[in-house]
Structure formats: C-alpha cells, structure tokens
C-alpha cells in the first residue's frame, strides 16, 4: 500500500506492506524498521528500532488525529490512486457568520436585526452544561440577520447570526 | 441501618455513593432523566427509575418525582450528592415529612447556612471575619451601583443560593455592572431557581482554602483539616489538594476552630465545608458554608484515611462519631484533577459527544472516580465533569509525580477534555513550589504554552501509525496479536464495540 499522509500540514509518502506477520515500511523512500502490535482497536504498540511507542487513533466525523504518547497530530491519509479532490474553504470576506461554539440552547438574544454593533459586542447567549456564554461580534458592523430564536437548540457550527 | 438508599443524582458522584452503599451492604436506587438511560450510575445501581425529561427542573430537581421513587422503591434514606437538590432546604424538609431520612443537614441548618447572605449575617453577628459587602440580596441596579462605589471596584457579584461558580461575576468597573448583574441573576435563576444576588469586595488573588467538618446528631463536631482549592477558572475549581502548602498545624487549628464554631452555631449535622478566603498575609475570612458533600472530598479521604460517604450514612443513621478531634491525623498529600469535557483549544467551552476510546490510569497512589465509559455519549444537558483523578503520595512531590504519570496514561478519545491543562499545571514551577492563588490559572492560560516543536522521530511515528491504522481499518485485526498477520486468513469477529466496551468495564 502507498499512502500520501499529511501530519500537521506536512506531506509524507508512506509505503507499507505486510509479509509473514511483519511490516515493510518506507517513509519518503527511506526504509524504517518497524514492529507493530494492535493492543486493541485504535491502539498500536509500535517499536521503531528498540524505541517503544503507544499510539492512539481518534476519529471524529471526518477528522482524524494520531496521538503519540501525549502529543497530538492532525492526520490526513490519502490513497494516491483514488481521485478525491481536496475542497478548500473559501476565504471569508464581507459579511461574517457567527457560529455556535458548542451544542446548547439559545437563552437570550441581546440585539435585534439592523442594530449597529462594535467588535466584541454581545449578540446572544448560548447555554450548555449549565454555563452561559455570550457570543460576541467578530467585527464592527450591522447585525444583518439573527437566525435563531430564544429557546432554540443549536449544534456546534450552526450559524446563529450574520454581521455585515 | 438503612436497607435501601436512593441516590438523587447522576454522574460520578452517583457512582461514588452507590459504591459506598454496596460496601456497607445497602441496596442502591438510581434515578435518571431521558438522556441518562445509558449513564454509568444506572448500570451500577440495584434499581433504577426514570424521572422524566433532560431539563433538570423536570427531573433531578423535581422533589415530587424523587419522593415518588423513594416511596415506590421502599428506600429509607436519600443521598443527594452535590449540586441539584443537595442544598435545597425544601427538599430536606420534604424528605423528613415523607419519613425518608435525608443524608445531610436538617432543613433549618441549611436555611441558616445555605443562603450565602444569611450565613454572612450570622457570621457578622458572631463577630467572625467576613469580606466587606452586602449581607442582603441586591434590590436594584442603582443599589448595586451605590454599594460598589462605596466598597470600591473590583467587586464580585454572587448568587445567594450559589455554588460551583454559577451566578457569579467579577466586575472591574461600573460600565460592566449592569450586564454582569443581569447575567448573574439569570444564571442563578436557572441554576438554583433563585435569582437573589449580593455584592462583595473582590479580594485580588486570594487563596481559597476550606475546612471539612463532620457533625453527628449528638452534638459532636470535628474538622478533618483543610483543602487548598485556589486553582479555579470561571470560579470553578479545577485542582484541589490536601493539605494546603501554606497551612501549618497552628493555622489549621485556628481555622478548624472557626469552622466548628460556624457549624455549631447553626446546629449543623452531617458533612459540611466551611470556605475561607486567605489573603497574602494569611488572614482568613469566612466566605460561605457548603451544606453538602464536596466534589473534592476524596483528597480529605486519602489524607485522613476516612470514608466520608460511609460516615455520612452512619451519622444519618443516628450513630455518634466514632473518633474524637485529637484522633484525626493528616498523613501524606493528595491532589485531585477534575476532568471536564471541555475544549482547551476553544477557550475551554463544553465539549459533549461520544467517547470512542478510553484508556485508564492505575497503579500506586492513584484513585479515579468516574462516571464515563467507552462508547458512552456525554450529554450536553449537565455539568461537564466526567471524572476525578486523584494522586496520593507520602509528600507533595510524590503526589505530583504520581498524578503526572497517571495523566500520561489517561486517554479520552472522541471528545475534548482538559487533561492537557493538568500536565501544564503540574509542570509549572510556581505550582510545584506551592505558590498558588485564585489568579494562578488565568495567568497560566494567558501565557501561551511553550511551543515544543515535535521531534522528527515522533512525527515519523505518527506518519507510520496513520498508515497502519488506515490499513488495519480495512482488515479486522484481533487485539493482542501481531498487527501484521494477514487478516484475510482469519474471519473478522462480528463483536460490537458496545459489547466489548461493556466487557472490559466489567473486568476492571
């Protein structure tokens, strides 16, 4: 197997093959001696030379992280034979969207549409796990739209309001 | 002795109390809201009863529903845990009226002490030191403005019924007073059903030190030493330890005497905690009394060798305290980390979700009180406390060493937790020197964590492991075997993660 792997934004080419219970492994063409035991699903015990590592794999939605001990790495694994395009989020200009920082409930809306607001001005309050958090305007402008009502349940990432 | 105890709570504290019941040969009854059917306390109990919707006011805060379960299950006592109804005198009274023993103080003692404003009034009358401010709830914004101007900014707004940092705001100047007062009131109203808020001069960077007291129903009151709880964020404790690095036996004796005085003045019974603010000259001021078991009680248990929940149950059963003050010995050092479902990269906002992988620490000097398990979805409806990890050692250095080691063993995957924060705290030179106050954590968080460039070898390990996980995702490899063995020769075992997680939990 050949993979294009991105760890914290840097690209690597990894060749892996399994033969007779052993891994053959090359990183960017360089041979690495490695011995692996899957301790349980998502937990690998790795030996590279005589150094030992406990490595954990964490997947949340489409995000994947690999933890080497307590160090966390964002990992992206692609099979170069598959033709999956990499969509890039478009740069945000002009109107700014306010998104829910966490799942919770809108307990108060502090301003109405059309109101002028300063950067850092409170727009609404979201409560989760008994903590109330004010969602603040990212810039000076006009509150163009409030997309939620008091009492509404929201998920992390939901758009709450737009500041123009 | 009681035959059956109902635990009117959820999460790690419900599990903690269920364990004590089972240790004492008492049956445990759990209650749960609709989102808590899969919670750990339901699994560990002998009986479990649904009490309605996730909203606390319709389930865990609903006195009638809980008393109905007590009656249906035949429970002869109720342990309230902390939070929820634990400091509600109406609940304590309703239990007494229903003929069910409330494991805690009487409604009268709670009323005298549970309201922070009433407790302040009592302490002023007794001539004990309190922080300048109002000892009655604020009637209006104008009054708040006047008092704040008189005692001087910064001031602290606090919910009279408060606890756990809810309904509490630090106000730096008059401009912010209005919005702080509104939000404190609204938060207090939602959390405690009581929007009374009072004002206090904010003592800057004090230590927060509290004394554990125990009182039986025969007039004996003892203290079990102090807990240092200065490490807080948003007025919520993050790390607690016993003993405090700055309290010597003489100071402990003086604080203990005041604590016992406070408890006895209110004819207090069962376990309680008297909180003090301590300034840089080691002067201590009465802050409030918490009329319940505290989250951080394990550090006292480890340094005194006592089990506070067992003692609470014995006291509620009418038994006298089995020891005297001079028999209480503080031995060794214990530190507790509160593991919260919070995102360190997103200003520590709550991070509910599914726990996909859980690796647990163990070994010498480690205690873990937990309400989570692998495969469980942390609901968004309640406090984000998942577990408490406590390290014990013969001295503070050893306790820190063991806790740091255990934090490296602990892994919670799928949700964000504050475990990395504890690594930072434990390795901080000021913390290690015991130089802490309530401003410590804000200062630590303002300083950007030292960016340690991961070494090339660690990155290479991550690259290789990422590829292996991708390969292994396609073939069902058996745990414990060489991961490289050809998966095709062995049929994948169709065991669900749910089942294997449950199996592992039972093996612990």
What is the CATH classification number for the domain harbouring B87? 3.40.50.20
Task: Flag whether B27 is in a domain.
Answer: yes
Set of chain A residues whose Cβ sits within 8 Å of the Cβ of B459: 7-8, 10, 73
In a domain, B430, yes or no: no
Q: Which residue has the higher pLDDT, A139 or B403?
A: B403
Residue B491 has pLDDT above 70, yes or no: no
Q: How confident is residue B490, by pLDDT bands cut at 50, 70 and 90? A: very low
Query: Is there a single domain that holds both residue B214 and residue B285?
Result: yes
Q: Would the CB atoms of A32 and B413 count as touching at under 8 Å?
A: no
Q: Which long-range contacts (CB under 8 A, 24 or more apart) does B396-402 make?
A: B396/B241, B396/B245, B396/B333, B396/B335, B396/B434, B397/B432, B398/B333, B398/B365, B399/B241, B399/B332, B399/B333, B399/B334, B399/B335, B399/B365, B400/B335, B400/B426, B400/B432, B402/B363, B402/B364, B402/B365, B402/B366
In a domain, B433, yes or no: no
Q: What is the pLDDT of residues B113-169, one digit of tens each?
A: 877 888 888 788 878 888 889 888 999 999 999 999 999 899 999 998 877 778 899
Q: Using CB atoms within 10 A of its CB, is residue A9 exposed (0-12), middle (13-18) or buried (19+)?
A: exposed
Q: Which of A7, A70, A133 sits opposite B463 (nearest CB)?
A: A7
> Looking at the partner chain, which of B382, B384, B483 has a beta carbon nearest the beta carbon of A37?
B483
The whole model's pTM is what?
A: 0.81
Same domain for B323 and B346?
no
- CATH architecture, domain defined by A96-163: Beta Barrel (2.40)
Contact status, residue A123 vs residue A150, Cβ threshold 8 Å: no
Quote the pLDDT of residue B474.
56
pLDDT at B292 (0 to 100): 96
Domain ranges of chain A: 2-78, 96-163
pLDDT tops 60 at residue A60: yes
Pairwise CA distance, residues B12 & A22, whole Å: 43
Would you tell me how many other CB atoms lie within 10 Å of the CB of residue B146? 12
- Are residues B234 and B116 part of one domain? yes
**What's the average model confidence in pLDDT over B85-90?**
95
Asked if pLDDT for residue B497 goes beyond 50, the answer is: no
Quick one: B221 and B231 in the same domain? yes
Report the chain A residue with the minimal C-alpha distance to residue B169. A132
**Assigned domain for B389 exists:** yes
B139: how many CB neighbours lie within 10 A of its CB? 9
What does the pLDDT look like over A128-153, one tens digit per residue? 777 777 888 878 888 989 999 998 88
CATH number at residue B146: 3.30.1490.20
Q: What is the pLDDT of residues B294-341, one digit of tens each?
A: 999 999 999 999 999 999 999 999 999 999 999 999 999 999 999 999
Residues of B in Cβ contact (< 8 Å) with A9: none
Does residue B492 have a pLDDT over 60?
no
Mutate to test the interface with A, among B36, B60, B349 (most CBs of A within 10 A): B349
Distance from CA of B423 to the nearest CA of A (A): 10
B259 and B116 co-located in one domain: yes
pLDDT tier for residue B289 given thresholds of 50, 70 and 90? very high
Contact A48, A60 (CB under 8 A): no
The domain boundary, picked from B169, B185, B201, lies at B201
Helix axes B141-151, B177-192, angle to 10 degrees: 120
Same domain, B343 and B299: no
Q: Any CB–CB contact under 8 A between A111 and chain B?
A: no
The reply to whether B260 and B114 lie within a common domain is yes
pLDDT for position A96 = 82
One domain, residues B352 and B276 = no
Least confident range of A27-31, A96-100, B424-428, B430-434: A96-100
User: Which residues of chain B are within 8 Å of residue A73 when distances are taken between CB atoms?
Assistant: 454, 459, 462, 466
Q: For residue A2, is pLDDT > 70?
A: yes
pLDDT in tens, B372-402: 999 999 999 999 999 999 999 999 999 999 9
What pLDDT sits at residue B216? 98
| Total count of domains within chain B | 5
Do the beta carbons of residue A16 and residue A25 sit within 8 Å? Answer: yes
* Domain with B487 in it: 457-507
> Do B248 and B282 share a domain, yes or no?
yes
Q: Which residue is listed with tokens 């990432």?
A: A157
Looking at residue B35, what DSSP letter applies?
Answer: G
User: Would you call B357 and A16 a contact, using CB atoms and an 8 Å cutoff?
Assistant: no
Instruction: Indicate which residues of B carry an active-site annotation.
Output: 292
Residue A31 sits at the chain B interface (C-beta within 8 Å):
no
Cβ–Cβ contact A101 with B under 8 A:
yes
Nearest to A66 among B166, B414, B466 (CB): B466
CB contact under 8 A, B479 and A39: yes
Residue B435 included in any domain? no
User: Cα–chain-centroid distance for residue A50?
Assistant: 33
pLDDT digits (tens, 9 = 90+) for B405-460: 999 999 999 999 999 999 999 999 999 999 999 999 999 999 877 767 788 999 99
CA distance B466 to chain A (A): 7
- CA-wise closest residue to B351 among A88, A156, A134, A36: A156
Per-residue pLDDT of B90-127, as tens digits, reads 999 999 999 999 999 999 999 988 778 888 887 888 78
| Contact between chains at B350 and A131 (C-beta distance less than 8 A) | yes
CA distance B408 to chain A (A): 6
Two structure tokens written together for B260:
């016992």
User: For chain A, what percent of residues have pLDDT higher than 90?
Assistant: 41
Q: With CB atoms and an 8 Å threshold, state whether A5 touches B486.
A: no
Confidence at residue A82, expressed as pLDDT on a 0 to 100 scale: 62
The mean-pLDDT minimum among B21-35, B116-130, B457-471 falls in B116-130
Distance from CA of B422 to the nearest CA of A (A): 12
**Cα–Cα distance measured from residue A43 to residue A68, given in angstroms and rounded to the nearest whole number:** 10
User: Is A77 in contact with B467 (Cβ distance < 8 A)?
Assistant: yes
Identify whether the C-beta of residue B17 lies closer than 8 Å to the C-beta of residue B28.
yes
Tell me how far CA of residue B26 lies from CA of B72, B96, B132, B448, in angstroms.
17, 20, 46, 50
Q: Positive or negative, the Cα torsion across B210, B211, B214, B218?
A: negative
Pair (B224, B300) in one structural domain: yes
Chain A residues with CB under 8 Å of B169 CB are none
Average pLDDT over chain A, rounded to whole?
Answer: 85
CATH at B276: 3.30.470.20
- What are residue A72's DSSP bridge partners? A67
Determine whether the interchain pair A132/B465 forms a contact, defined as Cβ–Cβ distance below 8 Å: no
At the top level of CATH, the class of A2-78 is alpha beta
- Tell me, what's the ipTM? 0.80
Query: Chain A residue with minimal CA distance to B457?
Result: A48
């Amino acid at each position: 197997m050949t993979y294009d792997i991105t760890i914290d934004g840097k690209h690597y080419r990894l060749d892996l093959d399994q033969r007779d219970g052993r891994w053959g492994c090359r990183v960017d063409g360089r041979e690495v001696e490695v011995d692996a035991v899957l301790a349980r699903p998502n937990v690998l015990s790795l030996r590279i030379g005589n150094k030992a590592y406990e490595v954990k794999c964490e997947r949340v939605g489409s995000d994947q992280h690999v933890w080497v001990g307590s160090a966390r790495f964002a990992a992206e694994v692609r099979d170069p034979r598959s033709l999956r395009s990499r969509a890039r989020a478009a740069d945000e200009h002009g109107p700014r969207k306010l998104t829910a920082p966490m799942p919770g409930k809108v307990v108060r809306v502090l301003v109405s549409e059309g109101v002028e607001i300063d950067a850092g001005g409170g727009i609404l309050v979201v409560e989760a796990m008994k903590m109330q958090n004010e969602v603040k305007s990212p810039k000076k402008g006009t509150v163009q739209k409030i997309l939620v009502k008091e009492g509404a349940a929201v998920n992390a990432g939901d758009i709450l309001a737009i500041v123009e | 002795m009681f035959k059956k105890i109902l635990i009117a709570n959820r999460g790690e504290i419900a599990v903690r109390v269920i364990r004590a019941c089972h240790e004492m040969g008492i049956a445990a009854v759990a209650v749960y809201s609709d989102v808590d059917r899969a919670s750990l306390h339901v699994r560990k109990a002998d009986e479990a009863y649904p009490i309605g919707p996730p909203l606390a006011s319709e389930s865990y805060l609903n006195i009638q529903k809980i008393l109905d379960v007590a009656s249906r299950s035949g429970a002869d006592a109720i342990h309230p845990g902390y939070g929820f109804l634990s400091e509600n005198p109406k609940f304590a009274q309703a239990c007494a009226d229903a003929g069910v023993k409330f494991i805690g103080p009487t409604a009268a003692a709670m009323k005298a002490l549970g309201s922070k404003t009433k407790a302040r009034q009592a302490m002023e009358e007794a001539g004990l030191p309190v922080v300048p401010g109002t000892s009655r709830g604020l009637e209006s914004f104008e009054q708040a403005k006047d008092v704040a101007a008189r005692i001087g900014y910064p001031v602290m707004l606090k919910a009279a019924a408060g606890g756990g940092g809810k309904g509490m705001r630090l106000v730096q100047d008059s401009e912010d007073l209005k919005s702080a007062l509104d939000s404190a009131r609204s938060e207090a109203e939602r959390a405690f059903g009581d929007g009374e808020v009072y004002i206090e001069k904010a003592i800057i960077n004090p230590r927060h030190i509290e004394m554990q007291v125990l009182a039986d129903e025969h007039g004996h009151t003892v203290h079990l030493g102090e807990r240092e709880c200065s490490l807080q964020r948003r007025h919520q404790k993050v790390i607690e330890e016993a003993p405090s690095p700055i309290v010597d036996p003489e100071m402990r004796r003086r604080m203990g005497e005041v604590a016992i005085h406070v408890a006895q003045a209110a004819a207090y019974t069962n376990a309680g905690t008297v909180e003090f603010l301590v300034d840089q000259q080691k002067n201590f001021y009465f802050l409030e009394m918490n009329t319940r078991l505290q989250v951080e009680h394990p550090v006292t248990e480890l340094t005194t060798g006592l089990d506070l929940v067992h003692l609470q149950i014995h006291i509620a059963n009418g038994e006298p305290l089995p020891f005297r003050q001079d028999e209480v010995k503080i031995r060794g050092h214990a530190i507790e980390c509160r593991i919260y479902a919070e995102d360190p990269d997103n200003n520590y906002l709550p991070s509910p979700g599914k726990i996909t992988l859980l690796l647990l620490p163990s070994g010498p000097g480690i205690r873990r009180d937990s309400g989570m398990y692998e495969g469980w979805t942390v609901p968004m409806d309640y406090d984000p406390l998942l577990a408490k990890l406590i390290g014990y050692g013969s001295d503070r250095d050893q306790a820190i060493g063991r806790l740091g080691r255990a934090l490296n063993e602990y892994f919670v995957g799928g949700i964000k937790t504050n475990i990395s924060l504890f690594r930072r705290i434990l390795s901080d030179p000021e913390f290690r020197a015991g130089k802490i106050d309530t401003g410590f954590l804000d200062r630590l968080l303002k300083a950007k964590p030292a960016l340690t460039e991961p070494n090339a070898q660690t990155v290479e390990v991550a690259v290789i492991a990422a590829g292996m996980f991708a390969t292994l995702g396609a073939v069902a490899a058996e745990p414990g075997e060489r991961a490289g063995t050809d998966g095709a020769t062995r049929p994948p075992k169709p065991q669900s993660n749910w089942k294997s997680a449950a199996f592992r939990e039972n093996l612990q």
